[in-house]
Amino acid sequence: MNIADKKCTNCGENSFVQATDYINLRPLDKKMSIGAERVYTVCLNCGEVVSIQVKDPEKLLK
Ligand SMILES: [Zn+2]
């Protein structure tokens, strides 16, 4: 993912860090699924989470 041309919707800055909490997102109907990792894009200036992206969305189908 290219975060270079993103802009914070809260403060307008464009410095971000990407992070994960290692809590996987699981499909509603398959709670035993391993699920997929979430990646947060966080504004370094104000802490706004500008994007939450699922790393391997196809894992939600398994
Ligand atoms: Zn910001």
DSSP result, 6-48: ---TTT----EEEE--S--B--TT-TTS--B-EEEEEETTT--
Q: Is 3 within a domain?
A: yes
What is the per-residue pLDDT for 39?
Answer: 95
What is the per-residue pLDDT for 10?
Answer: 96
Q: Is 61 within a domain?
A: no
Domain that includes residue 41, residue range: 1-56
* Cα of 45 from ligand 1 centre, angstroms: 5
Q: Is 28 within a domain?
A: yes
Query: pLDDT tens, 2-52?
Result: 666 789 999 999 999 999 988 899 999 987 888 999 999 999 999 999 999
What is the per-residue pLDDT for 48?
Answer: 97
User: Is a pLDDT exceeding 60 seen at residue 1?
Assistant: no
Count of domains observed in the chain: 1
Pick 1 or 28 by higher pLDDT.
28
Cβ < 5 A residues, ion ligand 1: 8, 10-11, 13, 43, 45-46, 48
